[in-house]
Structures are given as structure tokens and as C-alpha cells.
Structure 1
Amino acid sequence: MAQRVAEIMTPDPVTVSEKTPVAEVARLMREKNIGDVIITEAEHVRGLVTDRDLVVRAIAEHRDPDSTTVGEVCSSDLVTCSPQDRIDQAVQLMREHTLRRLPVVEGDRVVGALSLGDLAVERDPRSVLSDISAAEPNR
């Protein structure tokens, strides 16, 4: 069983600048079959935006997706972990802060992403969440 975040994280997550339009981020999520994108500036983590953020903070507020930037709707008060952290530490962070995703950073540079799905596949492979996380996309 894996012990460190580096062993189960998704390396090289999708990143965009905070000036990227919401519509472009939504298209990236669709193309890559992902639910979050990390906002960076010169590889330094600045925020995280999820598919839910796009719906609740942009679409539901009637914002123009072509002129609204992801920086306007992202979460910028981030909790992160290190690739060297123990998986149990990352789980505790997610519990404490009620998070579904954690950017993985070394220093201030993003190197990966850890999701509940990653944890389910590793720690509870017979769970429904694990099955969903490991399944092919249903486009």
C-alpha cells in the first residue's frame, strides 16, 4: 500500500493563468475529463477552480463566460500538501478543511494534484467512489 502522496497523486496537473476566461477552462475540463484546474503564475500556485465553482460562481451569477476570468471565480485561500507528505496527513487535511482536492506543491511550485478519487482507488478499491474514479469517461 502506498505511503506517500507522490505515489498516488496525479502528476503534472492542468494549470492555467488567472486571466484565462471561464469558457476556456470549462472546455479544458471537458477535453481532459477533469473537475478542477490549478491556477498558477510562473508555476506558483495561486488558486484552484472546480467545475462546481464555474457553475455556482459564474453561470448562476449570470457572468459572461467569455469575459469572466478564472481568477474572479477561483478559490485562492488554498490548502496544499507536499509529495513527501504521508497519505494519512493529506487525508487529515482534507477532513479538517472539507476538501475534495489538494494541490501538491514543492515549495511554491505545483507538481501534482490529489483527489478523493485518488484516495479511494488506493485505500478502498472496492468502493463506489473507486469504481467511478477508475471508470472510462462517459462523454
Structure 2
Amino acid sequence: MTTAREIMTPGAECVRSDQTAADAARLMAEHSVGALPIAGDDNKIKGVVTDRDLVIKVMGQGRDAGTFPAGDLNQNEAVTVGADDSVDEVLATMSQHQVKRLPVIDQDRLVGMVAMADVARALPDPQVGDLEKALSVD
């Protein structure tokens, strides 16, 4: 059984909930990523902010990215997968929550991120097609 730990990109960076949307954008550019987990004061994952979130929820609304709190970009609940969860569980979580990237946690500690591309490399073609169909917006 292939696990999330085996296919993830290790060492993900976080933006803190008390940082700004501009800080999140800078971190994304610095690390060449399109999403960052948002960590609270307790170091637990509170959500994920994507480059699309920054465009739609901050810039598109005319808000100042330099003062808009990154923590306000949290989803209602943080969707994560466990490091020892199977790739099938990762696939099911992505499909159920309509997300393309997931923080991977071991206990309460962030250990990496798994993206749709990571899953695509680990799964046979038919399953990848099913995931892509499940995540496509009509």
C-alpha cells in the first residue's frame, strides 16, 4: 500500500494566520508553490490558501493584501491527510472536498503537501482520470 508520505512533497512552508495575504503571496513566490497551509498560534493547520484565493478573495475584492490577514482566508475546516493514509484515502479526500492540494500531517505536525500531480504519478491512469473528473468545475 502506497502512503501519502511516500508521494508527498516534504518540508512544506506555512503562512501564519496572523501574517498578511501579501506575506502569503511572497512565500508562494519564494518557494515556487501555488498553495500554502495556514498555521495558527498553536502551530496546527487551520486551512490552505491558494494563489487563486489571493486573486479572488483579496485582489478581486479590492482589498489591501498588505493588511488583509492570511487567517481570514481559512476554510471552514482544515482538510488534511495523515502521513500514513493510503493513496486511495488521499484520492477520496481530494474528491470529497474538491481540493487539488492537501497538507500531510503526522500527529499534529505538518510534514509535507500532496498535490494532484503527486497522486497522478502514483496511481494508474483510470484513477487519475476519475480524480480529474471529480475535481473539475462544471
Please give the TM-score of this superposition, normalised by the length of structure 2: 0.82
Residue 102 in 1 paired to residue 102 in 2? yes
Supply the distance in 2 between the matched residues of 1:69 and 1:124 (Cα, whole angstroms).
Answer: 40
Task: Report the CA distance between 1:85 and its aligned residue.
Answer: 0.6
Q: Counterpart of 1:60 in structure 2: which amino acid?
A: G
Deviations 1:95-126 (A, max 9, x none): 1121111111123222211110111233369x
Change (3 A) 1:113 1:76: farther
Alignment of 1:1-139 (within 5 A): 3-41=2-40, 42-123=42-123
- The alignment of Structure 1 onto Structure 2 pairs a total of residues equal to 124
List gaps (5 residues or longer) in structure 1: 126-139
Q: Report the 3-state secondary structure (helix = DSSP H, G, I; strand = E; otherwise coil) of the residue aligned with 1:46.
A: strand
Q: Report the 3-state secondary structure (helix = DSSP H, G, I; strand = E; otherwise coil) of the residue aligned with 1:104.
A: strand
Task: Report the CA distance between 1:12 and its aligned residue.
Answer: 1.5
Is contact 1:53-1:74 (8 Å) kept? no
The structure where helix makes up a greater share of residues is: 2
Is contact 2:18-2:69 (8 Å) kept? yes
Supply the distance in 1 between the matched residues of 2:88 and 2:69 (Cα, whole angstroms).
Answer: 35
Is contact 1:39-1:46 (8 Å) kept? yes
Q: Report the 3-state secondary structure (helix = DSSP H, G, I; strand = E; otherwise coil) of the residue aligned with 1:84.
A: coil
| RMSD of equivalent CA atoms | 1.7
Q: Counterpart of 1:66 in structure 2: which amino acid?
A: G
Task: Report the CA distance between 1:76 and its aligned residue.
Answer: 4.3
List gaps (5 residues or longer) in structure 2: 126-138
Supply the distance in 2 between the matched residues of 1:73 and 1:47 (Cα, whole angstroms).
Answer: 8
Please give the TM-score of this superposition, normalised by the length of structure 1: 0.81
